[in-house]
Amino acid sequence: MSSVPEVIRATCCVAGGGPAGMVLGLLLARAGVEVVVLEKHADFLRDFRGDTIHPSTLEVVHELGLLDDFRSRPHQEVRQLFGNVGGVEFPLADFSRLPTHCKFLALMPQWDFLDFVSDHAKKYPTFRLVMRAAVADLIEEGGRVVGVRADTPGGPLEVRADLVVGADGRRSTVRERAGLRVRDLGAPMDVLWMRVSRKSTDTDSPTGRFDRGRIFVMIYRGDYWQCGFVIPKGGNEAVRARGIEAFRADVAGVAPFLADRVHELRTWDDVKLLTVTVDRLQKWYRPGLLCIGDAAHAMSPVGGVGINLAIQDAVAAANLLAEKLRTGTATTADLAKVQRRRTLPTKLTQWLQVQVQNRVISRALASRVPLSPPRVVRLFGRFPFLRRIPARLIGVGVRPEHVQTRDAFVTHRSGRGTGR
């Protein structure tokens, strides 16, 4: 292992190969911008990520001409979402009337989605993905960020770039090293994340189940359920202190049809703690640096919209910056435009998430009596058009972005060209 850093030169260096970073990498490379994405893990195969690909993200996939390929890969199409309060199931959201090409929410394990994005990005000679490269620090010259230092198994790596993008998630090293100020909006809960096998007789709809003191979310992943058991913030030790047997009983209590399978949770090694954070940066940029996705605004799992928002940030950043980066004319004022464009959707979505956290989740977790569906939710069962409101908020969100960048490698007559 060498201690002399390998040096890569690119126009844009993206730290983090999650949904925000990979989609930005694809869009910039497609527009003819030399981009390097650094991802600290060896692959995308990690369980902590959500699996929801929303109609507005599918619209972006359509605009890129990749929808057929997306739909040919294993996924599940969900047209309605259901909730379950105190054992009473009710419809919550109906995506079938959305003004998008795909009137459904796709469930695709996130590692498959990131492989899909990476397969297409790698077709562009302007794209480079370096796995097992953990960004550790920024390189600054004259008050401007001009690159990053990363650790790799082969030794230190430096990437020098006109723009560094922090897309390294809610524990972003980039935003911390850049000294960007974070506003914490608070979250009253954490999530215990686990797998339980699925039987062919089970439903295949993702559901959220609420009962006294318990909230349980189940996401279909073929032959198993990815499950999230919501606990009060900081409550992990107390749950563990009661023992795995008591925890299995809690799971069976809120999802009785899993009672014959909870023994699959053999030890606490089968149950992972995911801490929930909701925050946002006051300023998303500095000269030479921009943060997007959870690095700019960590999202609560409420509504399962964080992946979508991260991708929308990437589309907006590419729309506003690609041509300027390609021609070497991007300024700090252009980075400010990205924040201005994405502030409204971020603030509104986080406001809604905090309302649900405080008014629904905190109360449900504190409740010691059986719960019944609130009146407004019962109306969703009686008046189907009402289900279009949550469908719109979850499926499309505020200010959906559309791809405005061109494919620099397609010529009018011959398909793929040189782009330069």
Ligand X SMILES: Cc1cc2nc3c(=O)[nH]c(=O)nc-3n(C[C@H](O)[C@H](O)[C@H](O)COP(=O)(O)OP(=O)(O)OC[C@H]3O[C@@H](n4cnc5c(N)ncnc54)[C@H](O)[C@@H]3O)c2cc1C
- For residue 256, give every residue at least 6 positions away whose Cβ sits within 8 Å of its Cβ, in sequence order, or none: none
Residue 21 makes contact with ligand X by CB under 6 A: yes
In the numeric block, which tokens belong to residue 154? 């082969």
**CB closer to ligand X out of 251 and 408:** 251
**CB closer to ligand X out of 50 and 395:** 50
- Considering only residues 26 to 55 of the shown chain, the ones binding ligand X according to CB under 6 A are 38-41, 49-52
Residue 177 makes contact with ligand X by CB under 6 A: no
Residue 109 makes contact with ligand X by CB under 6 A: no
Beta-strand ranges (E) seen in 88-143 are 88-94, 105-107, 127-131, 134-141
In whole angstroms, the minimum distance from the beta carbon of 200 to ligand X comes to 24
Q: Which of 11, 18, 320, 335 binds ligand X (CB under 6 A)?
A: 18
Contact status, residue 83 vs residue 373, Cβ threshold 8 Å: yes
The rounded distance, in Å, linking the Cα atoms of 174 and 81 is 36
**CB closer to ligand X out of 34 and 39:** 39
In whole angstroms, the minimum distance from the beta carbon of 383 to ligand X comes to 27
In whole angstroms, the minimum distance from the beta carbon of 22 to ligand X comes to 8
Residue 395 makes contact with ligand X by CB under 6 A: no
**CB closer to ligand X out of 17 and 419:** 17
In whole angstroms, the minimum distance from the beta carbon of 276 to ligand X comes to 5
Give the pairing of strands 279-281 and 214-221.
Answer: unpaired
Residue 169 makes contact with ligand X by CB under 6 A: yes
- For residue 393, give every residue at least 6 positions away whose Cβ sits within 8 Å of its Cβ, in sequence order, or none: 303, 352
In whole angstroms, the minimum distance from the beta carbon of 67 to ligand X comes to 19
The stretch near ligand X (CB under 6 A) out of 64-72, 79-87, 119-127, 289-297 is: 289-297
Residue 13 makes contact with ligand X by CB under 6 A: no
The rounded distance, in Å, linking the Cα atoms of 34 and 10 is 5
Residue 19 makes contact with ligand X by CB under 6 A: yes
By CB under 6 A, how many residues form the interface with ligand X? 36
**CB closer to ligand X out of 51 and 323:** 51
Which residues in 322-335 are b (16+ Cβ under 10 Å) and which e?
bbebbeeebeeebb
- For residue 250, give every residue at least 6 positions away whose Cβ sits within 8 Å of its Cβ, in sequence order, or none: 214, 229
Residue 185 makes contact with ligand X by CB under 6 A: no
The rounded distance, in Å, linking the Cα atoms of 320 and 28 is 11
**CB closer to ligand X out of 18 and 288:** 18
- Considering only residues 294 to 353 of the shown chain, the ones binding ligand X according to CB under 6 A are 294-295, 299, 301, 304-308, 310
With helix as H, strand as E and coil as C, how does 311-329 read? HHHHHHHHHHHHHHHHCCC
Residue 226 makes contact with ligand X by CB under 6 A: no
In whole angstroms, the minimum distance from the beta carbon of 80 to ligand X comes to 17
Looking from the CA of 212 toward its CB, the CA atoms found within 13 Å total 5
In whole angstroms, the minimum distance from the beta carbon of 300 to ligand X comes to 7
Give the single-character DSSP code of 261.
Answer: T
Q: What residue ranges bind ligand X (CB under 6 A)?
A: 15-21, 38-41, 49-52, 134-135, 167-169, 173, 191, 228, 274, 276, 293-295, 299, 301, 304-308, 310
